[in-house]
Amino acid sequence: MIEISNLSKSYPSPDGDEVVGVFSGVNLSVEKGASVAIVGPSGSGKSTLLNIIGLLDKATKGELEVDQKKLNSFTEQEIAHYRNQTVGFVFQSHHLLPSCTVLENVMIPALAGFGSLQGEALENRATNLLEEVGIGHRANHLPSQISGGERQRVAVARALINEPSVLLADEPTGALDKKNTDHLIDLLKQLNEQRKLTLLMVTHSLEGSSQMKQSYHLNEGSLKQER
């Protein structure tokens, strides 16, 4: 599903002549339906790696293939389509729109014009997703009227509205307490297993990473498989 070879990312240093390397020579092969944890110290480049896979950021060097498509050669239109249809994102912060209801928030990514679902069919899918993540009874609430754990589950439902094949989660439990962390990890695992959704999760939670079938450690510029 995801094939990364010899991937490097660096930034120009503030004075412009040298480069600051984040990571280099990263190889990663993820099969369809796998669940993968990426762990590592703060600043090691975990978010950068996930953002490159999600085409929110660009690698400096290397090859990236998702769903047998070479992402390096994508046009702007293909990049927008990929971000909207192929991958779903969940971040540490939920990024829900405060003035839209829970149901509206879940439907928003389907309004970008890439999918065909609209009207009642779209509303039904969003409602079903909210049921699946366990908050169907909160559909008409505003984000401010539900708990942090519930907001994060809405963010998961929103990430799934366009039926992506890959879910990218960047410290999705970083702002949650233990109980809500366990609940969210269980949910992600369930979605991975039942929907054959390929799951890549950056996490600080040991328990979270142990629930994934594979685990990688990113440190001092290189990525190593631990499990």
By the criterion CB under 6 A, which residues form the site for ligand ADP?
11, 22, 40, 42-48
Report the nearest approach of ligand ADP to the CB of residue 197 (Å). 22
The residue type at 17: D
CB of 145: closest distance to ligand ADP in angstroms?
31
Q: Which is nearer to ligand ADP, 43 or 98 (CB)?
A: 43
By a kind-dependent CB cut-off of 5 to 8 A, residue 11 interacts, out of ligand ADP, Mg ion, none, with: ligand ADP
Nearer to ligand ADP, 102 or 199 (CB): 199
Beta strand pairing call for 35-39 and 61-66: unpaired
Report the amino acid identity of residue 157.
A
Residue with tokens 């169907």: 136
- Let me know the angle formed at the C-alpha of 172 by 44 and 211, rounded to the nearest 5 degrees: 85
Q: Could you count the other beta carbons within 10 Å of the beta carbon of residue 188? A: 25
- The residue among 97 and 206 lying less far from ligand ADP, judged by its C-beta, is 206
DSSP 210-227: HHSSEEEEEETTEEEE--
Considering the complex, state which of residue 46 and residue 183 has its C-beta at the smaller distance from Mg ion. 46
43 binds, among ligand ADP, Mg ion, none (CB under 5 to 8 A by kind): ligand ADP
SS3 at position 9: strand
Output the smallest distance, CB 185 to ligand ADP, in A: 19
Binding Mg ion (rule: CB under 5 A), the pick from 35, 44, 47, 173 is 47
Binding part of the chain for Mg ion, among 18-26, 46-54, 134-142, 179-187 by CB under 5 A, reads 46-54
Which residues ranging from 68 to 127 are in contact with Mg ion (CB under 5 A)? none
> Residues binding Mg ion: what is the number (CB under 5 A)?
1
Tokens of 116: 């065909």
What is the C-alpha separation between 148 and 155, in angstroms, rounded? 11
Which of Mg ion, ligand ADP, none does residue 90 bind to, with CB < 5 to 8 Å depending on kind? none
Please provide the DSSP assignment of 103-130 as one string: HHHHHGGGGSSSS---HHHHHHHHHHHH
